Structure 1
């Protein structure tokens, strides 16, 4: 294992914690009618705003750093270890999100898919909250496909594509998800191409464990936080007095822990599934 590959799970884990925190606060914490006069809700809002700025770029760059040796793998190995399992997590994420949308109504600006066409568009061009697991499946395959091209050329082409998609999105909002996907691709490719040249500090075990469970945590982040919002917003809005201050302080932390633990359990269950023997 190279120096950079060893540190990538820790960076991925740190970024995931920031992403889940931003999802939690945006998704339901700010929808609660806080009656406390303290600045706790404002503090969480500001923390989520700050966390949301580097979270996705750091996550995708860290994933790219972890794929520094993908050029040495076979296509079958990439499909088996990266694409197939992450596509399965993506399918689970979309399915769980649709159930939450059906049960609690629109969340994160996502209307329920009302017909097969809308479902297909959602699957192929997912919005931000669903796109991370999709990227975990798609980007490694793309990296393997272009592994022989010069790094500067790859990054320059990705930046150009992102700019073109961004201009298209500014003119037609229908291109917004494409613009975001291409922008995310830039961060991933930068991390991937830097993998061979960047030294790595010691790995932090807990963050590395979270990073290794990136796919299930990213897949479950939206449906779990959205379901928590659907269940808790109304109930927590009627809590009053000192108890609401306590809830205001700890609620985002507890939801982040819930998402991470659920993802770690999913990762562990996935590891227990027998793998096909390759020859």
Structure 2
């Protein structure tokens, strides 16, 4: 009888030990699961492109030296071309992947990435592009579109287009993946462009009208010529006249002080341009 009693007590001890072990194991599992769930996730790079921001060092292609620069303004007229098949799925100059069927662009010297506004001089069509590569390195071409961008801008079959390229923005924030979405990028760039134009109007006091043209290309050519001659803001205003006809007026300014405007007017007169004062 005593022997049976000892066996019963031993059974209870073993059973209790197993129960405690199971409770301990299950409790540990719950703690691990809870800990895994409650620990804040480490921030990942999933919202950033695989590329990097760069201005870059001077480099040479076909005997011509190119010097990348960090600039706040860029406004040039020239020829746009496009590139695609030979470079598809290869790395761009800032380490991203080039996809010919997505919208992007290449430029010789602007920081990477940058956003530019490109205007077709003939059709007045506008597109905003994210620049993440270097090129083009042919003649007087100033920007290379991806294949899809060229299709969207309606010069894919022709191969080239006369354009005006203006810098809108640049910086490491443009590495965020949301800027790879062309719809988002366009809205973002348009807002910056609008704010810049409003500032020009708000700060205006005196403008100098330098010329008026029926063809926008001629107005842009004048701006391109004058940029190397006078160190002042130059822009075009589209003016609607009789019979719904547009003329393109080229202005210098705005100038807060009339004395400064007169100095610029004298410079322009020396270059052979009579000016008209406009107060805004």
The alignment's TM-score, normalised by the length of structure 2, stands at 0.23
More strand by share: 2
More helix by share: 1
Q: Which has the higher contact order (CA 8 A, sep 6+)?
A: 1
The alignment's TM-score, normalised by the length of structure 1, stands at 0.24
